Structure 1
Protein backbone atom coordinates (compact mmCIF):
# COMPACT_ATOMS: atom_id res chain seq x y z
CA UNK A 1 0.00 0.00 0.00
CA UNK A 2 1.31 3.44 -0.95
CA UNK A 3 2.60 5.67 1.83
CA UNK A 4 2.46 9.45 1.77
CA UNK A 5 5.02 11.79 3.23
CA UNK A 6 3.86 14.00 6.11
CA UNK A 7 6.88 16.30 6.18
CA UNK A 8 6.36 20.07 6.01
CA UNK A 9 8.81 20.23 3.11
CA UNK A 10 6.67 17.81 1.11
CA UNK A 11 3.63 19.99 1.75
CA UNK A 12 5.39 23.19 0.69
CA UNK A 13 6.76 21.50 -2.42
CA UNK A 14 3.31 20.19 -3.32
CA UNK A 15 1.69 23.60 -2.85
CA UNK A 16 4.30 25.34 -5.00
CA UNK A 17 4.20 22.63 -7.66
CA UNK A 18 0.41 22.62 -7.82
CA UNK A 19 -0.22 26.32 -7.28
CA UNK A 20 -1.81 26.76 -10.70
CA UNK A 21 -4.13 23.83 -10.06
CA UNK A 22 -5.08 25.26 -6.65
CA UNK A 23 -5.98 28.65 -8.07
CA UNK A 24 -7.92 27.12 -10.96
CA UNK A 25 -9.94 24.91 -8.62
CA UNK A 26 -10.49 27.81 -6.20
CA UNK A 27 -11.75 30.01 -9.03
CA UNK A 28 -14.07 27.25 -10.18
CA UNK A 29 -15.37 26.79 -6.64
CA UNK A 30 -15.88 30.53 -6.04
CA UNK A 31 -17.66 31.07 -9.35
CA UNK A 32 -19.41 27.70 -9.47
CA UNK A 33 -21.66 28.39 -6.50
CA UNK A 34 -23.34 31.15 -8.52
CA UNK A 35 -23.62 29.12 -11.69
CA UNK A 36 -27.09 29.36 -13.21
CA UNK A 37 -28.10 32.47 -11.24
CA UNK A 38 -29.07 35.64 -13.08
CA UNK A 39 -26.59 37.85 -11.23
CA UNK A 40 -23.75 35.33 -11.28
CA UNK A 41 -20.51 36.42 -9.57
CA UNK A 42 -22.19 39.72 -8.67
CA UNK A 43 -23.73 37.86 -5.73
CA UNK A 44 -20.27 37.79 -4.11
CA UNK A 45 -20.54 41.59 -3.92
CA UNK A 46 -24.25 41.84 -3.23
CA UNK A 47 -24.37 39.35 -0.34
CA UNK A 48 -21.92 41.15 2.02
CA UNK A 49 -23.43 44.49 0.99
CA UNK A 50 -26.87 43.28 2.04
CA UNK A 51 -25.41 41.86 5.27
CA UNK A 52 -23.84 45.19 6.14
CA UNK A 53 -27.11 46.99 5.38
CA UNK A 54 -29.06 44.62 7.62
CA UNK A 55 -26.54 44.96 10.46
CA UNK A 56 -26.66 48.74 10.16
CA UNK A 57 -30.46 48.83 10.26
CA UNK A 58 -30.89 46.32 13.09
CA UNK A 59 -28.18 47.56 15.41
CA UNK A 60 -28.35 51.29 14.74
CA UNK A 61 -32.04 51.66 14.00
CA UNK A 62 -33.66 48.99 16.17
CA UNK A 63 -31.37 48.21 19.10
CA UNK A 64 -29.57 51.60 19.22
CA UNK A 65 -26.43 49.65 20.03
CA UNK A 66 -22.98 50.98 20.78
CA UNK A 67 -19.69 49.12 21.06
CA UNK A 68 -18.91 49.28 24.75
CA UNK A 69 -19.07 52.68 26.41
CA UNK A 70 -17.00 54.93 24.18
CA UNK A 71 -14.97 52.76 21.83
CA UNK A 72 -17.06 53.78 18.86
CA UNK A 73 -18.10 57.41 19.16
CA UNK A 74 -20.62 59.07 16.90
CA UNK A 75 -22.97 57.24 14.57
CA UNK A 76 -24.63 54.05 15.73
CA UNK A 77 -24.00 52.73 12.22
CA UNK A 78 -20.34 52.32 13.15
CA UNK A 79 -21.39 49.51 15.46
CA UNK A 80 -22.44 47.57 12.36
CA UNK A 81 -18.97 48.14 10.86
CA UNK A 82 -17.34 46.74 13.99
CA UNK A 83 -19.67 43.75 13.98
CA UNK A 84 -19.14 43.20 10.25
CA UNK A 85 -15.35 43.08 10.70
CA UNK A 86 -15.75 40.27 13.21
CA UNK A 87 -18.17 38.42 10.97
CA UNK A 88 -15.71 38.49 8.07
CA UNK A 89 -13.09 36.65 10.12
CA UNK A 90 -15.65 34.20 11.41
CA UNK A 91 -17.09 33.54 7.95
CA UNK A 92 -13.68 32.55 6.57
CA UNK A 93 -13.35 30.02 9.39
CA UNK A 94 -16.93 28.73 9.27
CA UNK A 95 -17.06 28.36 5.48
CA UNK A 96 -13.97 26.14 5.45
CA UNK A 97 -14.69 24.15 8.60
CA UNK A 98 -18.34 23.48 7.71
CA UNK A 99 -17.31 22.11 4.32
CA UNK A 100 -14.29 20.17 5.57
CA UNK A 101 -16.00 16.90 6.70
CA UNK A 102 -17.40 16.32 3.21
CA UNK A 103 -14.37 17.66 1.35
CA UNK A 104 -12.90 14.30 0.33
CA UNK A 105 -16.31 12.70 -0.14
CA UNK A 106 -17.40 15.47 -2.49
CA UNK A 107 -14.26 14.90 -4.58
CA UNK A 108 -14.35 11.11 -4.63
CA UNK A 109 -13.31 11.09 -8.29
CA UNK A 110 -9.96 12.58 -7.27
CA UNK A 111 -9.32 9.86 -4.66
CA UNK A 112 -8.96 7.18 -7.31
CA UNK A 113 -6.36 9.25 -9.13
CA UNK A 114 -3.01 8.52 -7.48
CA UNK A 115 -1.38 11.48 -9.19
CA UNK A 116 -3.89 13.99 -7.83
CA UNK A 117 -2.56 15.85 -4.75
CA UNK A 118 -5.47 15.46 -2.34
CA UNK A 119 -3.61 17.45 0.30
CA UNK A 120 -4.27 20.70 -1.59
CA UNK A 121 -8.07 20.45 -1.30
CA UNK A 122 -8.22 22.41 2.00
CA UNK A 123 -6.05 25.08 0.35
CA UNK A 124 -8.52 25.29 -2.53
CA UNK A 125 -11.48 25.81 -0.20
CA UNK A 126 -9.51 28.34 1.83
CA UNK A 127 -8.60 30.37 -1.27
CA UNK A 128 -12.27 30.40 -2.27
CA UNK A 129 -13.27 31.64 1.20
CA UNK A 130 -10.54 34.30 1.12
CA UNK A 131 -11.86 35.58 -2.22
CA UNK A 132 -15.25 36.26 -0.67
CA UNK A 133 -13.55 37.74 2.40
CA UNK A 134 -11.65 40.18 0.19
CA UNK A 135 -14.91 41.36 -1.36
CA UNK A 136 -16.40 41.85 2.11
CA UNK A 137 -13.30 43.70 3.32
CA UNK A 138 -13.54 46.06 0.34
CA UNK A 139 -17.14 46.84 1.29
CA UNK A 140 -16.17 47.25 4.94
CA UNK A 141 -13.39 49.73 4.11
CA UNK A 142 -15.72 51.67 1.82
CA UNK A 143 -18.33 51.94 4.56
CA UNK A 144 -15.65 52.92 7.05
CA UNK A 145 -14.38 55.67 4.75
CA UNK A 146 -17.90 57.02 4.28
CA UNK A 147 -18.51 57.04 8.05
CA UNK A 148 -15.27 58.52 9.34
CA UNK A 149 -13.59 59.96 6.26
CA UNK A 150 -10.42 57.86 6.34
CA UNK A 151 -9.05 54.33 6.45
CA UNK A 152 -6.24 53.67 8.95
CA UNK A 153 -2.86 52.81 7.44
CA UNK A 154 -2.73 49.79 9.76
CA UNK A 155 -5.26 48.11 7.45
CA UNK A 156 -2.23 47.05 5.41
CA UNK A 157 -1.33 44.69 8.29
CA UNK A 158 -4.46 42.59 7.79
CA UNK A 159 -2.67 39.88 5.73
CA UNK A 160 -0.40 39.27 8.70
CA UNK A 161 -3.45 38.84 10.94
CA UNK A 162 -4.83 36.29 8.48
CA UNK A 163 -1.70 34.12 8.28
CA UNK A 164 -2.12 32.34 11.66
CA UNK A 165 -5.88 32.04 11.10
CA UNK A 166 -5.30 30.41 7.71
CA UNK A 167 -2.87 27.92 9.23
CA UNK A 168 -5.42 27.06 11.90
CA UNK A 169 -8.12 26.60 9.27
CA UNK A 170 -5.90 24.34 7.18
CA UNK A 171 -5.06 22.19 10.18
CA UNK A 172 -8.71 21.85 11.19
CA UNK A 173 -9.70 21.14 7.58
CA UNK A 174 -7.16 18.36 7.15
CA UNK A 175 -8.29 16.73 10.40
CA UNK A 176 -12.01 17.04 9.67
CA UNK A 177 -11.80 16.04 6.02
CA UNK A 178 -9.82 12.89 6.81
CA UNK A 179 -11.98 11.97 9.80
CA UNK A 180 -15.17 12.70 7.85
CA UNK A 181 -14.36 9.91 5.41
CA UNK A 182 -14.49 7.28 8.15
CA UNK A 183 -16.94 8.95 10.54
CA UNK A 184 -19.79 10.46 8.54
CA UNK A 185 -21.59 11.77 11.65
CA UNK A 186 -18.99 14.48 12.06
CA UNK A 187 -20.50 16.31 9.13
CA UNK A 188 -23.82 16.53 10.95
CA UNK A 189 -22.38 17.82 14.21
CA UNK A 190 -19.77 20.31 13.03
CA UNK A 191 -22.46 22.87 12.15
CA UNK A 192 -23.66 22.90 15.76
CA UNK A 193 -20.12 23.42 17.01
CA UNK A 194 -19.46 26.28 14.59
CA UNK A 195 -22.73 28.01 15.51
CA UNK A 196 -21.90 27.74 19.21
CA UNK A 197 -18.43 29.10 18.52
CA UNK A 198 -19.93 32.13 16.79
CA UNK A 199 -21.87 33.17 19.89
CA UNK A 200 -18.88 32.44 22.14
CA UNK A 201 -16.61 34.64 20.02
CA UNK A 202 -16.34 38.42 20.54
CA UNK A 203 -18.32 39.20 17.40
CA UNK A 204 -21.39 40.79 18.97
CA UNK A 205 -19.65 42.06 22.10
CA UNK A 206 -16.21 43.39 23.14
CA UNK A 207 -14.12 41.21 25.42
CA UNK A 208 -13.80 44.15 27.81
CA UNK A 209 -17.57 44.04 28.44
CA UNK A 210 -17.26 40.67 30.16
CA UNK A 211 -16.46 40.22 33.85
CA UNK A 212 -12.69 39.73 34.37
CA UNK A 213 -13.17 36.12 35.49
CA UNK A 214 -14.74 35.25 32.11
CA UNK A 215 -12.35 37.17 29.89
CA UNK A 216 -9.57 34.60 30.30
CA UNK A 217 -11.86 31.87 28.93
CA UNK A 218 -12.79 33.95 25.88
CA UNK A 219 -9.12 34.20 24.94
CA UNK A 220 -8.96 30.41 24.76
CA UNK A 221 -11.35 30.69 21.82
CA UNK A 222 -9.18 30.28 18.69
CA UNK A 223 -11.17 33.00 16.90
CA UNK A 224 -10.80 35.68 19.55
CA UNK A 225 -7.33 36.81 18.53
CA UNK A 226 -7.93 37.21 14.78
CA UNK A 227 -11.28 38.93 15.39
CA UNK A 228 -9.83 41.37 17.90
CA UNK A 229 -6.70 42.08 15.86
CA UNK A 230 -8.63 42.55 12.61
CA UNK A 231 -10.65 45.28 14.29
CA UNK A 232 -7.50 46.86 15.64
CA UNK A 233 -5.88 47.17 12.21
CA UNK A 234 -8.99 47.81 10.13
CA UNK A 235 -10.97 50.15 12.40
CA UNK A 236 -9.10 51.37 15.47
CA UNK A 237 -5.80 52.03 13.71
CA UNK A 238 -3.83 50.04 16.28
CA UNK A 239 -0.84 47.82 15.46
CA UNK A 240 -0.86 44.07 15.91
CA UNK A 241 -0.06 42.67 19.34
CA UNK A 242 3.16 41.06 18.12
CA UNK A 243 3.81 38.99 21.24
CA UNK A 244 0.39 37.35 21.06
CA UNK A 245 0.71 37.08 17.28
CA UNK A 246 3.92 35.08 17.66
CA UNK A 247 2.29 32.72 20.17
CA UNK A 248 -0.80 32.31 18.00
CA UNK A 249 1.37 31.67 14.94
CA UNK A 250 3.30 28.90 16.70
CA UNK A 251 0.12 27.24 17.97
CA UNK A 252 -1.67 27.46 14.63
CA UNK A 253 1.44 26.13 12.85
CA UNK A 254 1.44 23.15 15.19
CA UNK A 255 -2.27 22.52 14.50
CA UNK A 256 -1.62 22.75 10.75
CA UNK A 257 1.27 20.28 10.97
CA UNK A 258 -0.75 17.91 13.18
CA UNK A 259 -3.70 18.07 10.78
CA UNK A 260 -1.50 17.40 7.77
CA UNK A 261 0.14 14.42 9.45
CA UNK A 262 -3.29 12.96 10.29
CA UNK A 263 -4.48 13.50 6.73
CA UNK A 264 -1.43 11.87 5.18
CA UNK A 265 -1.52 8.90 7.56
CA UNK A 266 -5.19 8.17 6.88
CA UNK A 267 -5.49 8.97 3.16
CA UNK A 268 -4.28 5.56 2.07
CA UNK A 269 -7.60 4.20 3.35
CA UNK A 270 -9.82 6.74 1.55
CA UNK A 271 -10.28 4.67 -1.60
CA UNK A 272 -11.34 1.58 0.36
CA UNK A 273 -14.03 3.46 2.32
CA UNK A 274 -15.33 5.56 -0.56
Structure 2
Protein backbone atom coordinates (compact mmCIF):
# COMPACT_ATOMS: atom_id res chain seq x y z
CA UNK A 1 0.00 0.00 0.00
CA UNK A 2 2.88 2.41 0.67
CA UNK A 3 3.70 2.62 -3.02
CA UNK A 4 0.08 3.50 -3.75
CA UNK A 5 -0.49 6.00 -0.94
CA UNK A 6 -2.75 8.80 -2.11
CA UNK A 7 -3.54 7.04 -5.38
CA UNK A 8 -6.59 5.23 -6.66
CA UNK A 9 -6.86 2.22 -8.92
CA UNK A 10 -7.49 4.15 -12.16
CA UNK A 11 -4.75 6.71 -11.41
CA UNK A 12 -1.44 4.90 -11.75
CA UNK A 13 1.46 5.73 -14.05
CA UNK A 14 0.44 9.30 -14.93
CA UNK A 15 2.34 12.59 -15.09
CA UNK A 16 1.82 13.26 -11.38
CA UNK A 17 3.64 10.01 -10.54
CA UNK A 18 6.50 10.69 -12.93
CA UNK A 19 6.93 14.48 -13.07
CA UNK A 20 5.53 16.25 -10.01
CA UNK A 21 7.57 17.00 -6.85
CA UNK A 22 6.95 14.44 -4.12
CA UNK A 23 5.50 16.97 -1.66
CA UNK A 24 3.00 18.26 -4.24
CA UNK A 25 1.66 14.91 -5.43
CA UNK A 26 -0.99 14.37 -2.72
CA UNK A 27 -2.49 17.80 -3.44
CA UNK A 28 -2.52 17.22 -7.19
CA UNK A 29 -4.29 13.91 -6.51
CA UNK A 30 -6.81 15.68 -4.28
CA UNK A 31 -7.59 17.95 -7.25
CA UNK A 32 -7.68 14.91 -9.57
CA UNK A 33 -5.06 16.51 -11.82
CA UNK A 34 -3.81 12.96 -12.29
CA UNK A 35 -7.24 12.19 -13.81
CA UNK A 36 -8.36 15.32 -15.71
CA UNK A 37 -11.42 13.75 -17.33
CA UNK A 38 -13.74 15.24 -14.70
CA UNK A 39 -12.47 18.75 -15.40
CA UNK A 40 -13.13 18.23 -19.10
CA UNK A 41 -16.66 17.08 -18.38
CA UNK A 42 -17.22 20.18 -16.22
CA UNK A 43 -15.75 22.40 -18.94
CA UNK A 44 -17.64 21.09 -21.96
CA UNK A 45 -21.12 22.47 -21.08
CA UNK A 46 -19.47 25.89 -20.60
CA UNK A 47 -18.03 25.70 -24.10
CA UNK A 48 -21.32 24.43 -25.57
CA UNK A 49 -23.14 27.37 -24.04
CA UNK A 50 -20.56 29.93 -25.14
CA UNK A 51 -20.74 28.50 -28.65
CA UNK A 52 -24.53 28.61 -28.82
CA UNK A 53 -24.47 32.19 -27.52
CA UNK A 54 -22.17 33.08 -30.42
CA UNK A 55 -24.55 31.37 -32.88
CA UNK A 56 -27.51 33.25 -31.39
CA UNK A 57 -25.71 36.60 -31.49
CA UNK A 58 -24.40 36.08 -35.03
CA UNK A 59 -20.75 36.11 -33.98
CA UNK A 60 -18.27 34.09 -36.08
CA UNK A 61 -16.68 32.51 -32.99
CA UNK A 62 -17.30 32.18 -29.27
CA UNK A 63 -15.42 34.68 -27.12
CA UNK A 64 -11.96 33.08 -27.04
CA UNK A 65 -10.99 34.80 -23.79
CA UNK A 66 -14.09 33.33 -22.17
CA UNK A 67 -13.14 29.86 -23.42
CA UNK A 68 -9.71 30.23 -21.80
CA UNK A 69 -11.22 31.45 -18.52
CA UNK A 70 -13.67 28.54 -18.53
CA UNK A 71 -10.77 26.14 -19.05
CA UNK A 72 -8.85 27.49 -16.07
CA UNK A 73 -11.98 27.78 -13.93
CA UNK A 74 -13.17 24.26 -14.70
CA UNK A 75 -9.88 22.67 -13.69
CA UNK A 76 -9.55 24.76 -10.53
CA UNK A 77 -13.15 24.42 -9.38
CA UNK A 78 -13.28 20.74 -10.17
CA UNK A 79 -10.20 20.43 -7.98
CA UNK A 80 -11.88 22.37 -5.18
CA UNK A 81 -15.01 20.25 -5.53
CA UNK A 82 -13.05 17.00 -5.43
CA UNK A 83 -11.14 18.17 -2.37
CA UNK A 84 -14.43 19.00 -0.63
CA UNK A 85 -15.82 15.63 -1.74
CA UNK A 86 -12.86 13.81 -0.20
CA UNK A 87 -13.20 15.79 3.02
CA UNK A 88 -16.88 14.85 3.27
CA UNK A 89 -16.29 11.22 2.25
CA UNK A 90 -13.06 10.39 4.06
CA UNK A 91 -14.71 7.77 6.27
CA UNK A 92 -16.55 6.16 3.35
CA UNK A 93 -13.42 6.26 1.18
CA UNK A 94 -11.60 4.13 3.75
CA UNK A 95 -14.17 1.35 3.22
CA UNK A 96 -14.15 1.39 -0.61
CA UNK A 97 -11.40 -0.50 -2.44
CA UNK A 98 -11.11 2.00 -5.31
CA UNK A 99 -10.88 5.04 -3.02
CA UNK A 100 -9.19 3.91 0.19
CA UNK A 101 -5.82 5.17 -1.08
CA UNK A 102 -7.05 8.72 -1.73
CA UNK A 103 -4.86 11.34 0.00
CA UNK A 104 -7.10 12.03 3.02
CA UNK A 105 -8.30 8.46 3.52
CA UNK A 106 -4.72 7.17 3.31
CA UNK A 107 -3.30 9.83 5.64
CA UNK A 108 -1.14 11.52 3.01
CA UNK A 109 -2.97 14.81 3.66
CA UNK A 110 -4.58 15.91 6.94
CA UNK A 111 -8.10 17.31 7.15
CA UNK A 112 -6.83 20.79 8.01
CA UNK A 113 -4.40 20.75 5.08
CA UNK A 114 -7.19 19.64 2.76
CA UNK A 115 -9.51 22.41 3.99
CA UNK A 116 -6.82 25.05 3.44
CA UNK A 117 -6.17 23.67 -0.04
CA UNK A 118 -9.89 23.73 -0.88
CA UNK A 119 -10.06 27.40 0.17
CA UNK A 120 -7.01 28.25 -1.96
CA UNK A 121 -8.52 26.63 -5.05
CA UNK A 122 -11.86 28.35 -4.43
CA UNK A 123 -10.14 31.73 -4.23
CA UNK A 124 -8.46 31.12 -7.59
CA UNK A 125 -11.84 30.13 -9.01
CA UNK A 126 -13.36 33.33 -7.64
CA UNK A 127 -10.63 35.38 -9.33
CA UNK A 128 -11.62 33.72 -12.61
CA UNK A 129 -15.33 34.35 -11.96
CA UNK A 130 -14.94 38.09 -11.36
CA UNK A 131 -13.54 38.53 -14.87
CA UNK A 132 -17.12 38.20 -16.16
CA UNK A 133 -20.14 40.51 -16.02
CA UNK A 134 -22.18 40.98 -12.84
CA UNK A 135 -25.05 38.76 -13.95
CA UNK A 136 -22.62 35.92 -14.69
CA UNK A 137 -20.86 36.38 -11.35
CA UNK A 138 -24.11 35.95 -9.41
CA UNK A 139 -25.10 33.04 -11.65
CA UNK A 140 -21.83 31.33 -10.78
CA UNK A 141 -22.21 32.00 -7.06
CA UNK A 142 -25.69 30.45 -7.17
CA UNK A 143 -24.14 27.04 -7.93
CA UNK A 144 -22.16 26.82 -4.70
CA UNK A 145 -24.97 25.35 -2.61
CA UNK A 146 -25.38 22.47 -5.05
CA UNK A 147 -21.64 21.80 -5.06
CA UNK A 148 -21.52 21.80 -1.25
CA UNK A 149 -24.50 19.43 -0.95
CA UNK A 150 -23.46 16.86 -3.56
CA UNK A 151 -21.05 14.70 -1.47
CA UNK A 152 -23.79 13.99 1.08
CA UNK A 153 -26.50 12.94 -1.38
CA UNK A 154 -25.33 9.34 -1.72
CA UNK A 155 -26.25 8.84 1.92
CA UNK A 156 -29.92 9.73 1.33
CA UNK A 157 -30.96 9.02 -2.24
CA UNK A 158 -30.34 6.58 -5.07
CA UNK A 159 -30.13 9.63 -7.34
CA UNK A 160 -26.91 11.38 -6.26
CA UNK A 161 -26.01 11.49 -9.96
CA UNK A 162 -28.89 13.93 -10.48
CA UNK A 163 -27.31 16.37 -8.02
CA UNK A 164 -23.97 15.90 -9.76
CA UNK A 165 -25.80 16.72 -12.99
CA UNK A 166 -27.11 19.96 -11.50
CA UNK A 167 -23.55 20.93 -10.52
CA UNK A 168 -21.59 19.68 -13.53
CA UNK A 169 -24.06 21.16 -16.02
CA UNK A 170 -24.03 24.67 -14.53
CA UNK A 171 -21.65 25.78 -17.24
CA UNK A 172 -24.52 25.40 -19.73
CA UNK A 173 -25.97 28.49 -18.06
CA UNK A 174 -22.64 30.24 -17.48
CA UNK A 175 -21.41 30.38 -21.07
CA UNK A 176 -24.55 32.18 -22.22
CA UNK A 177 -24.66 34.44 -19.16
CA UNK A 178 -21.02 35.46 -19.62
CA UNK A 179 -21.50 36.21 -23.31
CA UNK A 180 -24.88 37.97 -23.25
CA UNK A 181 -25.46 39.00 -19.64
CA UNK A 182 -28.78 37.16 -19.37
CA UNK A 183 -30.43 33.76 -19.64
CA UNK A 184 -32.89 32.64 -22.31
CA UNK A 185 -34.76 29.47 -23.23
CA UNK A 186 -31.80 28.00 -25.13
CA UNK A 187 -29.33 27.79 -22.21
CA UNK A 188 -32.03 26.46 -19.88
CA UNK A 189 -32.80 23.64 -22.34
CA UNK A 190 -29.08 23.03 -22.75
CA UNK A 191 -28.74 22.82 -18.97
CA UNK A 192 -31.54 20.28 -18.67
CA UNK A 193 -30.12 18.20 -21.51
CA UNK A 194 -26.68 18.26 -19.96
CA UNK A 195 -28.11 17.05 -16.64
CA UNK A 196 -29.52 13.95 -18.36
CA UNK A 197 -26.15 13.37 -20.05
CA UNK A 198 -24.28 13.64 -16.72
CA UNK A 199 -26.65 11.21 -14.96
CA UNK A 200 -26.07 8.75 -17.79
CA UNK A 201 -22.30 8.83 -17.91
CA UNK A 202 -21.90 8.92 -14.14
CA UNK A 203 -24.16 5.87 -13.84
CA UNK A 204 -21.66 4.05 -16.05
CA UNK A 205 -18.84 5.27 -13.80
CA UNK A 206 -20.68 4.26 -10.62
CA UNK A 207 -20.94 0.65 -11.75
CA UNK A 208 -17.26 0.29 -10.82
CA UNK A 209 -18.20 0.74 -7.15
CA UNK A 210 -21.42 -1.25 -6.83
CA UNK A 211 -20.14 -3.93 -4.45
CA UNK A 212 -18.22 -1.47 -2.29
CA UNK A 213 -21.17 0.96 -2.21
CA UNK A 214 -23.41 -1.82 -0.92
CA UNK A 215 -20.86 -2.64 1.77
CA UNK A 216 -20.44 1.03 2.72
CA UNK A 217 -24.20 1.63 2.76
CA UNK A 218 -24.24 4.39 0.12
CA UNK A 219 -26.54 4.72 -2.87
CA UNK A 220 -26.23 5.37 -6.61
CA UNK A 221 -28.16 5.09 -9.85
CA UNK A 222 -25.93 2.11 -10.70
CA UNK A 223 -27.45 0.25 -7.76
CA UNK A 224 -30.91 1.57 -8.59
CA UNK A 225 -30.86 0.57 -12.26
CA UNK A 226 -28.81 -2.62 -11.92
CA UNK A 227 -29.45 -4.89 -14.90
CA UNK A 228 -31.80 -2.28 -16.34
CA UNK A 229 -28.92 0.12 -16.89
CA UNK A 230 -28.94 -0.04 -20.69
CA UNK A 231 -32.65 0.89 -21.00
CA UNK A 232 -32.07 3.66 -18.45
CA UNK A 233 -29.12 4.95 -20.47
CA UNK A 234 -31.23 4.91 -23.62
CA UNK A 235 -33.82 7.08 -21.88
CA UNK A 236 -31.30 9.46 -20.30
CA UNK A 237 -29.15 9.89 -23.38
CA UNK A 238 -32.25 10.20 -25.57
CA UNK A 239 -33.56 13.01 -23.35
CA UNK A 240 -30.15 14.68 -23.50
CA UNK A 241 -30.02 14.64 -27.30
CA UNK A 242 -33.60 15.94 -27.69
CA UNK A 243 -33.17 18.78 -25.18
CA UNK A 244 -29.78 19.82 -26.53
CA UNK A 245 -31.27 19.75 -30.04
CA UNK A 246 -34.09 22.04 -28.88
CA UNK A 247 -31.50 24.34 -27.31
CA UNK A 248 -29.80 24.62 -30.70
CA UNK A 249 -33.15 25.30 -32.35
CA UNK A 250 -33.96 28.14 -29.95
CA UNK A 251 -30.44 29.54 -30.39
CA UNK A 252 -30.90 29.61 -34.17
CA UNK A 253 -28.33 26.94 -34.98
CA UNK A 254 -28.27 25.23 -38.34
CA UNK A 255 -26.90 22.28 -40.23
CA UNK A 256 -23.41 22.14 -38.71
CA UNK A 257 -24.90 22.06 -35.24
CA UNK A 258 -27.21 19.25 -36.39
CA UNK A 259 -24.24 17.28 -37.70
CA UNK A 260 -22.37 17.78 -34.44
CA UNK A 261 -25.44 16.67 -32.49
CA UNK A 262 -25.73 13.58 -34.71
CA UNK A 263 -22.09 12.70 -34.00
CA UNK A 264 -22.71 13.24 -30.28
CA UNK A 265 -25.79 11.01 -30.39
CA UNK A 266 -23.92 8.33 -32.33
CA UNK A 267 -21.16 8.29 -29.75
CA UNK A 268 -23.69 7.91 -26.93
CA UNK A 269 -25.31 5.07 -28.86
CA UNK A 270 -21.93 3.33 -29.11
CA UNK A 271 -21.54 3.61 -25.33
CA UNK A 272 -24.92 1.98 -24.72
CA UNK A 273 -24.29 -0.78 -27.23
CA UNK A 274 -20.84 -1.70 -25.91
CA UNK A 275 -20.91 -1.00 -22.17
CA UNK A 276 -20.50 -4.03 -19.90
CA UNK A 277 -21.55 -3.10 -16.39
CA UNK A 278 -19.73 -6.12 -14.93
CA UNK A 279 -16.40 -5.07 -16.45
CA UNK A 280 -14.78 -2.14 -14.61
CA UNK A 281 -12.19 -1.25 -17.29
CA UNK A 282 -15.00 -1.27 -19.89
CA UNK A 283 -17.08 1.11 -17.75
CA UNK A 284 -14.14 3.41 -17.16
CA UNK A 285 -13.32 3.59 -20.87
CA UNK A 286 -16.94 4.42 -21.82
CA UNK A 287 -17.12 7.03 -19.07
CA UNK A 288 -13.91 8.73 -20.19
CA UNK A 289 -15.03 8.71 -23.82
CA UNK A 290 -17.68 11.33 -23.00
CA UNK A 291 -15.03 14.01 -23.37
CA UNK A 292 -14.77 13.08 -27.04
CA UNK A 293 -18.56 12.99 -27.39
CA UNK A 294 -18.83 16.48 -25.92
CA UNK A 295 -16.04 17.87 -28.09
CA UNK A 296 -17.72 16.49 -31.23
CA UNK A 297 -20.82 18.52 -30.39
CA UNK A 298 -18.73 21.60 -29.57
CA UNK A 299 -16.97 21.34 -32.93
CA UNK A 300 -20.37 21.33 -34.65
CA UNK A 301 -21.45 24.42 -32.69
CA UNK A 302 -18.26 26.32 -33.57
CA UNK A 303 -18.57 25.40 -37.24
CA UNK A 304 -22.19 26.56 -37.18
CA UNK A 305 -21.13 29.95 -35.85
CA UNK A 306 -18.21 30.22 -38.27
CA UNK A 307 -19.86 29.03 -41.47
Name the TM-score, length of structure 1 as normaliser: 0.31
Q: Higher relative contact order at CA 8 Å, sep ≥6: structure 1 or structure 2?
A: 1
Name the TM-score, length of structure 2 as normaliser: 0.29
Flag the structure with larger Rg.
1
